[in-house]
Every structure is written in C-alpha cells, then in structure tokens.
A = this chain, B = another copy of it.
C-alpha cells in the first residue's frame, strides 16, 4: 500500500463535507484518472443527478480495480457540478455512500466547482481523481 495520510489540522476551517483538507502521500507510482461522468460502459447516460453520481464513482472504482487499486488509493478528487442546486444532493450522496467506499472513515481532499457545462449537455457531474499506488 502507498503511504497516504488524510489530515485536517485545526488551524484550517473544518471541511464543509466528506473530504479532508490535506492528503500527505509517499508513493512510487500514480494514477491520473480522466474526469468521469455519468455514462456507463455501453454509452448510456444516467437520467438523473443521483444516478449520474453513482455511475461516476462506479467508473472511478472500475478504473482503480483495473490497476489493482481501490478507493483507499485516492489522494485527490476534483468535482464539477453544472447546477448549484445539486450541491446539497452531491453532499448528501457522498455523506451516504463514502462510508462504504472509504471504510477507513477518512476521505481524500476534494475541490468542488460549479461550472457552465460538461462535454455533453445532459451531464450534471464530473469527477477527476489522482491515486497513489505504493511506497517506493
């Protein structure tokens, strides 16, 4: 396993959702995972925000598993939403699902941005990720 610590020093504000302020990472190998969207392996776009979220994290999970890794290897997320109204839904989704994806109970840093649009108009959420593979 890579050496990854998630840290929330008291000198910073408390994280506003299911993330940590810092990941400290000693690793010999990294995965850069392109932004994942709510499209499944057959090209089908999930209809609603929550189903898109599930597909996004399923895709990231599949990317990790394909390299012998899992969510414990994630060191940074960047998350993009198209509608500000989906911010609470995204927070709720993570509050509910992340304890299962991250059974250690500590979450990687995330930066959440609300932007104009994603590559296809029906897409509502995209998440890119960096993962660390092992200590060198």
Residues of A within 8 A of B (CB): 7, 9-17, 19-37, 39-43, 59, 62-63, 65-67, 75-76, 78, 80, 84, 87, 108-121, 126, 128, 130, 133, 136
Contacts and interface: CB of A to CB of B under 8 A. Distances in A.
A31 B17 CA distance: 20
Given A7-B67, A30-B25, A109-B32, A62 B128 contact: no
Contacts of A25: 29-32
Contacts of A20: 34
This chain: copies in complex:
3
A5 to B, nearest CB: 9
A95 B105 CA distance: 40
A135 to B, nearest CB: 10
A130 B113 CA distance: 17
Contacts of A16: 39, 119-120
Contacts of A31: 22-25
27 contacts: A7-B66, A7-B67, A9-B62, A9-B63, A10-B41, A11-B62, A12-B63, A12-B66, A13-B37, A13-B43, A13-B59, A19-B34, A21-B63, A22-B63, A22-B67, A23-B32, A24-B31, A24-B133, A26-B29, A27-B30, A32-B76, A78-B128, A112-B118, A113-B115, A113-B118, A114-B117, A116-B116
